[in-house]
Amino acid sequence: MPAPKSKTKPKSAARKRAAQGVSMAGALAEAAWSEADAALAQALVEFDEADGAANAADREDAMARLAQSLTRTARKRGLSRIGGLGESVAFDPAEHELNAPVAKTPKNVRIQARGVTRGGEILEKPRVTPVEQKRRS
Amino acid sequence: MTDWTLCIDFGTAFSKAAAAPVGAWSAFEPAGVRPLLLSPDGQGNAFLLDSAVFVDEDRVLFGRAALARAEEIGDKKRQALRSFKTLLSVSDLERALNANAPATIDPHRVFQMRDLVVLYLAYLLAAVERGAASDTMIAQGRIASRRYAAPAWRSGDSAGMHDIIVRLFGEAEEFRNAAGRRMLMAEGIPLRTISDALPKASQNAESLEMGLIFEATAAAAYSSIGLEGAASHLIVVDMGAGTTDIAALARIGSRTMELPEARVTLKQAGDFLDQVIANRVIESASWARGAEQKAELWNVLMRQMADIKEAVFVDGRAVLRNQGRSITINLRDVEKDVDFREFGKSLRQAYDHALSVVRDDARARGRSEVHAIAVGGGASTPLIRELIQRKAGSVRPRVIARPATPQWAHSRTFAGNLAPVFPQLAIAIGGALAPDSMLAALGGASRPANDRSGTPAERD
């Protein structure tokens, strides 16, 4: 028995090409990753150097290069840091992660590790510790 | 069916293209911004097309294939042609195009520079068409208008330069049609095909209908689109590889014009900063004393300079390794360099001059704000960032520094992926978004870019 004829119209060449197209966000991500890949690969090598350093000076150098490679990877992927190391700020539980258990919610905190954001979205909150209030004498 | 505006930006190293719906300026949606995939071969950034042509034994290669072949041969006397942008910016363009290509580029001595430019543009147009066809949104509509972005011509004869360039694009389009699918094949085009088809293409071609947008205007377009309070006056600082250009723009009614008296070009830019950094490192490298060691260190530095420069200017220092030694370059050391300080001084003077021109114009028209924007590879240097944030006080018209990557590029539509690559695609995107009134020359008919007739003063 012959197969029933399809009632749908054949796709135009343009629509066929369109169907093969990739999403814009995906293509942009691939473009960004193509530049980040080299920096990430370098970071992995620097990590081994830091891990197996023979002395403190070599380790410090390798750590500086590792930090640089990771920072470059992050930049190529559009990530940026939140806050400054050691900075004292008002505590906001939506924007900070306490690095130590506390009995009472602190008013001010110090940034121990910076957070990471991309395009306004917080990917990792800054890690903070409470700032001890100066006692009045 | 959506009509699209397409803009091509042929840069020194890479060409880029982007499309936006016609009318995007008045009804802006970030999702309508469509950079085109020009190199979908899975190697590197697919939005960038290498600006390169290599004349091989019996064929001409384009893009990445051209660079790969030049590297494979590894002969210092043979090289790929890359400097299209420089060539197209010279004041006597006709003469430059009619010059024979040097033997290092064309060992057969059969091509004029014009031929190689036409061949590259044919390759670029083919890549643009493939990119547009593979885009899910553009493929359902049609390309209604095309533009190209260029620096403000320094000769001042914008109309004359534009006419030559749309003619080159016309010849390229004719050749592309003759070459068909072969245009994008990695093996390139045989010399015999070129010698048959290129003269016919030149004879039969008509100028391609393309508009011209100045790069500074494209920057103004992507920077101010969608802003409720977009400023009528802008100052744009563009630090590329070879020059730092400062331009001022004024939007009067529906038209955007350049204020030519504000335009300044400095011959120091990215390449100059590379040399300053490399010289500082070599001076401080006590172990590299011989000429050979210094030359080797120079080469190592230059190979990694893009990364080094970014780390120095954005993070404050760069650390690199050479022959088991760790080398640290601090921004403070670079800023102490005498040449660097001289450049900073010249840059500030040039900026202050241009700013004074644009503020005077804004004041005369009763406008309250001037927006300052930095573009190009040097936009992230502290020197430029500090410059555009100067004079941001309360004296009217106020100067407001705009971010190098506009807020809309962080839209959730792009899932955070446009912003990291935005600086590379910015000019093509801005050129596609700009309304016709911002063009220096419309498709076909040319008019001088700085024609200020019929622009009465208006107030906010």
**pLDDT (tens digit per residue) in B271-281:** 899 999 999 99
Looking at the complex, report in whole angstroms how far the Cα of residue A106 sits from the nearest Cα belonging to chain B.
31
Q: Are B427 and B438 in contact (CB under 8 A)?
A: no
Q: Which of B405, B421, B453 is the last residue of a domain?
A: B405
Question: Quick one: B167 and B233 in the same domain?
Answer: no
Locate the chain A residue with the closest alpha carbon to B321.
A65
In a domain, B245, yes or no: yes
Q: What is the 3-state secondary structure (H, E, C) of chain B?
A: CCEEEEEEEECCCEEEEEEEECCCCCCCCHHHCEECCCCCCCCCCCCCEECCEEECCCEEEEHHHHHHHHHHHCCCCCCCECCHHHHHCCCCHHHHHHCECCCCCCCCCCCEHHHHHHHHHHHHHHHHHHHHHCCCCHHHCEEEEEEEEECCCCCCCHHHHHHHHHHHHHHHHHHHHHHHHHHHCCCCEEHHHHHHHHHHHHHHCCCCCCEEEEHHHHHHHHHHCCCCCCCCEEEEEEECCCCEEEEEEEEECCEEEECHHHCEEECCCHHHHHHHHHHHHHHHCCCCCCHHHHHHHHHHHHHCHHHHHHHHHHHCEEEEEECCEEEEEEHHHHHHCHHHHHHHHHHHHHHHHHHHHHHHHHHHCCCCEEEEEEECHHHHCHHHHHHHHCCCCCCCCEEEECCCCCHHHHCHHHCCCCHHHHHHHHHHHHHHHCCHHHCCECCCCCCCCCCCCCCCCCCC
Question: Quick one: B169 and B193 in the same domain?
Answer: yes
- Token pair of B162 as six digits: 């534009």
Q: Which of B186, B212, B238 is the last residue of a domain?
A: B212
Which of B150-154, B206-210, B448-452 is the least confident region?
B448-452
Closest CA to B225 of B186, B251, B264: B251
**B420: which chain A residues are within 8 Å (Cβ-Cβ)?**
32, 35, 75-78
pLDDT band at B392 (very low <50, low <70, confident <90, very high): low
pLDDT band at B449 (very low <50, low <70, confident <90, very high): very low
Identity of residue B51: S
Interface residue ranges in chain A relative to chain B, Cβ cutoff 8 Å: 14-15, 17-25, 27-32, 34-35, 39, 61, 64-65, 68, 71-72, 75-78, 118-121
For chain A, the residue count is 137
In a domain, B68, yes or no: yes
Closest CA to B214 of B37, B7, B354, B453: B7
Question: Quick one: B60 and B111 in the same domain?
Answer: yes
Q: Which of residues 16-55 of B touch A (CB under 8 A)?
A: 31, 34-35, 37, 44-48
Locate the chain A residue with the closest alpha carbon to B136.
A18
| pLDDT value, residue A110 | 95
Q: Which residues contact B392 (CB under 8 A, 6 or more apart)?
A: B398, B399, B400, B401
CB contact under 8 A, B319 and A68: yes
**A23: which chain B residues are within 8 Å (Cβ-Cβ)?**
136
| pLDDT value, residue A26 | 87
Looking at the complex, report in whole angstroms how far the Cα of residue B322 sits from the nearest Cα belonging to chain A.
12
The reply to whether omega before B107 is within 30° of 0 (cis) is: no
For the cut 50, the answer to whether the pLDDT of residue B111 exceeds it is: yes
Q: Which of residues 203-262 of B touch A (CB under 8 A)?
A: none
| pLDDT value, residue A135 | 60
Of the partner residues A17, A28, A64, the one whose CB lies closest to the CB of residue B418: A28
**A68: which chain B residues are within 8 Å (Cβ-Cβ)?**
311, 315, 318-319
Which of A29-33, A44-48, B56-60, B360-364 is the least confident region?
A29-33
**pLDDT, mean of residues B421-449:** 79
Helices B270-284 and B291-303, axial angle in degrees (round to 10):
140
In a domain, B147, yes or no: yes
In a domain, B167, yes or no: yes
Cα torsion B155, B158, B164, B165 to 10°: value is: 110
In a domain, B100, yes or no: yes
Higher pLDDT, B454 or B97: B97
CATH code of residue B308: 3.30.420.40
For the cut 70, the answer to whether the pLDDT of residue A61 exceeds it is: yes
In this structure, the strands spanning B369-375 and B398-401 are parallel
Cα(B382)–Cα(B96) distance, integer angstroms: 37
Closest CA to B374 of B240, B214, B228, B212: B240
Computed over every residue of chain A, the mean pLDDT equals 83
Neighbouring CB atoms inside 10 A of A49's CB total: 16
Looking at the complex, report in whole angstroms how far the Cα of residue A107 sits from the nearest Cα belonging to chain B.
31
Question: Quick one: B266 and B384 in the same domain?
Answer: yes
As for how many domains chain B has, the answer is 2
- Token pair of B265 as six digits: 């070009």
Question: Quick one: B313 and B269 in the same domain?
Answer: yes
Question: Quick one: B54 and B108 in the same domain?
Answer: yes
Question: Quick one: B179 and B35 in the same domain?
Answer: yes
Looking at the complex, report in whole angstroms how far the Cα of residue A133 sits from the nearest Cα belonging to chain B.
33
Question: Quick one: B14 and B113 in the same domain?
Answer: yes
| pLDDT value, residue B34 | 95
In a domain, B398, yes or no: yes
pLDDT band at A62 (very low <50, low <70, confident <90, very high): very high
Interface test with B, best of A68, A70, A79, A121 (most B CBs within 10 A): A68
Identity of residue B211: G
Backbone φ and ψ of A12, nearest 5°: -70, 160
Q: Are B6 and B21 in contact (CB under 8 A)?
A: no
CA atoms within 13 A on the CB side of B223: 27
- Token pair of B417 as six digits: 């992926």
Closest CA to B9 of B114, B117, B128: B128
**pLDDT, mean of residues B282-287:** 86
% of chain B surpassing 90 pLDDT: 54
Question: Quick one: B237 and B382 in the same domain?
Answer: yes
Closest CA to B315 of A81, A61, A14, A127: A81
Which of A20-24, A104-108, A125-129, B189-193 is the least confident region?
A20-24
Interface test with A, best of B417, B422, B429 (most A CBs within 10 A): B417
| pLDDT value, residue B109 | 94
For the cut 50, the answer to whether the pLDDT of residue B153 exceeds it is: yes
Q: Which of B161, B182, B212 is the last residue of a domain?
A: B212
**pLDDT, mean of residues A8-27:** 55
Question: Quick one: B88 and B40 in the same domain?
Answer: yes
Closest CA to B170 of B126, B207, B122: B207
CA distances to A120, B163, B175 from A85, rounded to whole Å, are 20, 56, 59
**pLDDT, mean of residues A117-130:** 90
Of the partner residues B35, B136, B328, the one whose CB lies closest to the CB of residue A21: B136
Q: Are B328 and B319 in contact (CB under 8 A)?
A: yes
Locate the chain A residue with the closest alpha carbon to B44.
A34
For the cut 80, the answer to whether the pLDDT of residue B6 exceeds it is: yes
- Token pair of B237 as six digits: 């600082």
Instruction: Report pTM.
Output: 0.84
CB contact under 8 A, A121 and B420: no
CB contact under 8 A, A32 and B35: no
**pLDDT, mean of residues A4-32:** 59
Cα(A50)–Cα(B232) distance, integer angstroms: 53
| pLDDT value, residue B336 | 93
CATH code of residue B130: 3.30.420
**B415: which chain A residues are within 8 Å (Cβ-Cβ)?**
25, 29
Question: Quick one: B62 and B196 in the same domain?
Answer: yes
Closest CA to B328 of A57, A114, A79, A41: A57
Q: What is the 3-state secondary structure (H, E, C) of chain A?
A: CCCCCCCCCCCCHHHHHHHHCCCHHHHHHHHHHHHHHHHHHHHHHHHHHHHCCCCHHHHHHHHHHHHHHHHHHHHHCCCEEECCCCCEEECCCCCCEECCCCCCCCCEEEEEECEEEECCEEEECCEEEECCCCCCC
In a domain, B61, yes or no: yes
| B141–A contact, CB cutoff 8 A | no
Q: Are B7 and B18 in contact (CB under 8 A)?
A: yes
CB contact under 8 A, B139 and A75: no
Locate the chain A residue with the closest alpha carbon to B317.
A68
CB contact under 8 A, A24 and B414: yes
In a domain, B339, yes or no: yes
**pLDDT, mean of residues B314-327:** 87
For the cut 50, the answer to whether the pLDDT of residue B451 exceeds it is: no
Computed over every residue of chain B, the mean pLDDT equals 87
Question: Quick one: B263 and B317 in the same domain?
Answer: yes
Cα torsion B411, A38, B35, B115 to 10°: value is: 160
Of the partner residues B139, B413, B417, the one whose CB lies closest to the CB of residue A78: B417
Domain coverage including residue B175: 3-212
**pLDDT (tens digit per residue) in A72-94:** 999 999 898 999 999 999 999 99
Of the partner residues A30, A77, A119, the one whose CB lies closest to the CB of residue B410: A119
Cα(B114)–Cα(B130) distance, integer angstroms: 24
